[in-house]
Amino acid sequence: MKDARLRAGLTQEKLGVMAGIEEATAYSRLSHYESGTHKPSFELVCSFAKVLDVPECYFYTVDDEFAEAVLALYQGFKTES
């Protein structure tokens, strides 16, 4: 999640707020999600994916190289349509 957030140029707080998390807790919650202390619900992952313009499966791919390949494929499909 952190890589996608940084690629989008967003702070933890900004991403959280854009995904529907209350501003007062957005930074803390994103910090916990990125560190692996807590896991977001699938619905929240879908919100993050929409804000960051990545497919939902990107966040569930363990291998970083494969995640980047998934992202490239996703972006390729978007430009073709």
Domains, in order of start, for the chain: 2-80 (1.10.260.40)
**Long-range CB contacts for residues 47-52, cutoff 8 Å, separation at least 24:** 47/19, 47/20, 48/1, 48/4, 48/15, 48/19, 50/19, 51/8, 51/10, 51/15, 51/18, 51/19, 52/4, 52/5, 52/7, 52/8, 52/10, 52/15
pLDDT for res 80? 78
pTM of the model: 0.90
Please report, in tens digits, the pLDDT of each residue of the chain (81 residues total): 999 999 999 999 999 999 999 999 999 999 999 999 999 999 999 999 999 999 999 999 999 999 999 999 999 988 876
pLDDT for res 79? 83
